[in-house]
Amino acid sequence: MTKKTIPAAESGRAPLRSGTRLVTGGRDTDLYHGFINPPVYRGSTVLYRDVETMRSRDQRYTYGLRGSPTSEALEDALSEMEGAAGTVLPNSGLSAIALSFLTVAQAGGHVLVSDSCYQPTRLFCDQALARYGVETEYYDPLIGAGIGHLLRDNTVGVLVEAPGSQTFEMQDIPAIAAQCNARDVCVIMDNTWATPLYFRPLDHGVDITLMAGTKYIVGHSDAMLGTISANANWWPHLRRMFDIFGIVAGPDDIYMGHRGLRSMHVRLAHHMNAAIEVARWLETRPEVARVIHPALESHPGHAIWKRDFTGASGLFSFELMPGPDEALREMIDHLRFFGIGYSWGGYESLAVPFDCSSYRTATTFAHEGPMVRLHIGLEDPADLMADLEDGLARWRAKGGGVV
Ligand SMILES: *Cc1c(COP(=O)(O)O)cnc(C)c1O
């Protein structure tokens, strides 16, 4: 049967816009008897017609771990979005991080990791990679082309993440990648915040890009999923590691990712606009010392964000004026619409106090008042601002500071 996919680029036509690519990518309705979506293939055993077919090794599906029409549908859609040679789907964002490092690491090697990375990335590097003789060095996320001075003969990979987890530093990805590309050092990016909708890492010199699909791909806080996509150079190495480890997402979770993907551009547009509205409003509040959101002109990395990114998602931080912990707890504990929880990217808003000073090693993050990370969900931003306004009143009532 012929594949009724919509071609990514037809000659003589403009390339598809990202929203269209996201809706059409990886679709093969002939394969599904006309149904729009792929079926969920649950399975371990895959049968062969006869011994000869088994020995020939050219049957398309062979084993539960080795892929199915369900996993291929999402892999193909993501590869199209990323402009990647291929994509694999491990069972969480964290396992995507681990598998990406394992694809490039070797005993005696050295990896460079941004000091503002997702914190569990550090645990993997310090507690797993270290045991296998791979050295991790943390670097200032604002290093830019200066990364060239840290590259050694045994450097095998550089992890970038922009904006940084919790503190939202914007990294100059093209400048870092240019140094690494020239020395054949693999650049790995954690692109969970922007997704390929708002930043396509492989177009900017990144070799391997990963996401916690758990967040905006799934989009409804109801499944865990990782995604890793690679350029043509690194794809065979990534695929081999993925097959060796067998850390794969289950078919139902992959399906939830597939389902979430098709509306991600609509959701992200709301997350973006609502988050910018709330962030700008917070900037006017006397209880707030600063708001850290790359799309605000006040952000030190705003020029880089504007140059490289085409949008922003719903996660940012702010610093309160100095005040007692009781005032912070009183403010956060009684918010109506903001839950207290870590995994963001769903339709619901979240507020989490954080303190990153305990684990950073290459840089210090200076702040005087308490830090709060917000995820702006799909609620009406007017309700969210009213909720935060009440929270800020509780902050003041318990002795929290104002300008
Ligand atoms: C949440 C997150 C991860 C990990 O994803 P899980 O699916 O929860 O394991 C990785 N990177 C970033 C930036 C994240 O925010």
CA angle 46/49/53 to nearest 5° reads 95
- Token pair, residue 341, equals 């929880």
Does the pLDDT value for residue 4 go beyond 50? no
Region at 338 (left for phi over 0; alpha for psi -120 to 50; beta for the rest): beta
Ligand 1 near 195 CB (within 6 A): no
* Residue percentage of the chain with pLDDT more than 70: 97
What is the distance in angstroms between the CA of the first residue and the CA of the last residue of the chain? 68
356 or 63, higher pLDDT = 63
Cβ–Cβ contacts within 10 Å for residue 211, how many?
Answer: 28
Does the pLDDT value for residue 11 go beyond 80? no
Distance 59 CA to ligand 1 centre (A): 35
Over residues 390-403, the pLDDT tens digits come to 999 999 999 999 99
Confidence of residue 10 (pLDDT cuts 50, 70, 90): low
Tell me the mean pLDDT in the region 6-22: 76
Confidence of residue 8 (pLDDT cuts 50, 70, 90): low
Distance 179 CA to ligand 1 centre (A): 27
Ligand 1 near 165 CB (within 6 A): yes
Distance 211 CA to ligand 1 centre (A): 7
Cβ–Cβ contacts within 10 Å for residue 382, how many?
Answer: 12
Question: For residue 347, which phi and psi values (nearest 5 degrees)?
Answer: -80, -5
Confidence of residue 332 (pLDDT cuts 50, 70, 90): very high
What is the per-residue pLDDT for 3?
A: 45
Distance 213 CA to ligand 1 centre (A): 8
DSSP characters over 230-292? E-TTTHHHHHHHHHHH-----HHHHHHHHHHHTTHHHHHHHHHHHHHHHHHHHHT-TTEEEEE
Q: What is the rounded CA–CA span in Å between residue 196 and residue 194?
A: 6
Ligand 1 near 159 CB (within 6 A): no
Over residues 233-258, the pLDDT tens digits come to 999 999 999 999 999 999 999 999 99
Residue type, 142: L
Nearest CA to ligand 1 atom 2: 212
Tell me the mean pLDDT in the region 201-212: 98
Specify the 3-state DSSP secondary structure of 159. Answer: strand
Residue from 101, 171, 214 whose mutation best tests the ligand 1 pocket (most atoms within 8 A of CB): 214
Ligand 1 near 313 CB (within 6 A): no
Q: Going by C-beta distance under 8 Å and a sequence separation of 6 or more, which residues neighbour residue 340?
A: 332, 333, 350, 351, 352
Does the pLDDT value for residue 6 go beyond 60? no
Ligand 1 near 121 CB (within 6 A): no
Q: What is the rounded CA–CA span in Å between residue 256 and residue 264?
A: 12
Does the pLDDT value for residue 179 go beyond 60? yes
Residue from 167, 343, 352 whose mutation best tests the ligand 1 pocket (most atoms within 8 A of CB): 343
Q: What is the rounded CA–CA span in Å between residue 41 and residue 309?
A: 36
What is the per-residue pLDDT for 9?
A: 54
**Residues forming a β-bridge with 319:** 290, 371
Over residues 263-312, the pLDDT tens digits come to 999 999 999 999 999 999 999 999 999 999 999 999 999 999 999 999 99
334 or 12, higher pLDDT = 334
Tell me the mean pLDDT in the region 64-73: 95
Ligand 1 near 251 CB (within 6 A): no
Tell me the mean pLDDT in the region 121-139: 98
Ligand 1 near 224 CB (within 6 A): yes
Specify the 3-state DSSP secondary structure of 322. Answer: coil
